[in-house]
Structure 1
Amino acid sequence: MFKNNITALGLALGMAGLCMSGSALAQSAGETEYMNACAACHGESGVGDGPLAELMTVGLPDLTQISANNDGEFPMLEVIQIIDGRSGIRGHGYPMPVWGQRFKEALSVEIGAYASEIVTRGRILALAQHLESMQQ
């Protein structure tokens, strides 16, 4: 009987996780992407004070001011295009790391080219949504 209660509890907790809202999951995924791919340069809070910022040859933008610098609107498509490399932002004397390509390359061997494209786009969207949530 005790074993069944533990199993039921585990199932209930798992279902609760699945029932978490899509935006909460995206936010968590976006925050994870940010901390893994961006915080080293842009800082945990996004103001451009990451541990590698002092090594950069160009100034780092305050990512919390993207909306403020765009008449109060968050330019989602432009942000996505910067992250995935379609826009020519330069950092450290070279283009900012093209995260879309890096994400896709890491996955394509494991899950195939088409699936990796879908996962990569999801990761980039989650990251862009996290940046939107950081706006002041």
Structure 2
Amino acid sequence: MLGFTKAMVLAICVATPAMAQDMAEGEQLFQHRCATCHGLSANGTGPMAPVLLIQPTDLTQLQQKNDGTFPVQRVVWRIDGREPLVSHGSPMPVYGDFFQGRDVTLKADTGQPIMTSQPIADLVAWLQSIQQ
């Protein structure tokens, strides 16, 4: 690795600013990939909701249900599949493969950097913008 230590690589990754998040692209991705279950307004009332055993989350309430802080890490990990899944499924299928793209860094709600793809970063930006 051209003489770089792990610490140097980590420092470069952490110091690299996150790419701009595109809320319009995030909304488009949501409408195409998520609205069937979560609804066009992201309130959990999509056309598939009545037939699901575990009802979709109202995504407009994520910040309110997390003591006023948007749960960036939890949202990213739920979308990309890093959040542990229960043995017989989870409230949301893993859609990480649909959102592959250039890696970017976001700041998690804990303040720590979190790596994700540009499409997920765009989705997170849009979800943050619709919090009530």
In the superposition, the TM-score normalised over structure 1's length comes to 0.65
1:1-136 aligned at under 5 Å gives the runs: 22=20, 26-88=22-84, 94-95=89-90, 96-104=92-100, 116-118=101-103, 121-136=117-132
Pair 1:44–1:89, CA change in 2 (3 A):
farther
The alignment-based identity, stated in percent, is: 39
For the pair shown, which has the larger CA radius of gyration, 1 or 2? 1
Q: Structure 1 or 2: larger helix share?
A: 1
Shift of 1:89: 5.7
Q: Which runs of 4+ in 1 moved over 6 A?
A: none
SS in 2 for 1:126: helix
The root-mean-square deviation of aligned C-alpha atoms, in Å, is 2.1
Aligned residues: 100
For the Cα contact (< 8 Å) 1:44–1:50, is it kept in 2?
yes
Pair 1:89–1:40, CA change in 2 (3 A):
farther
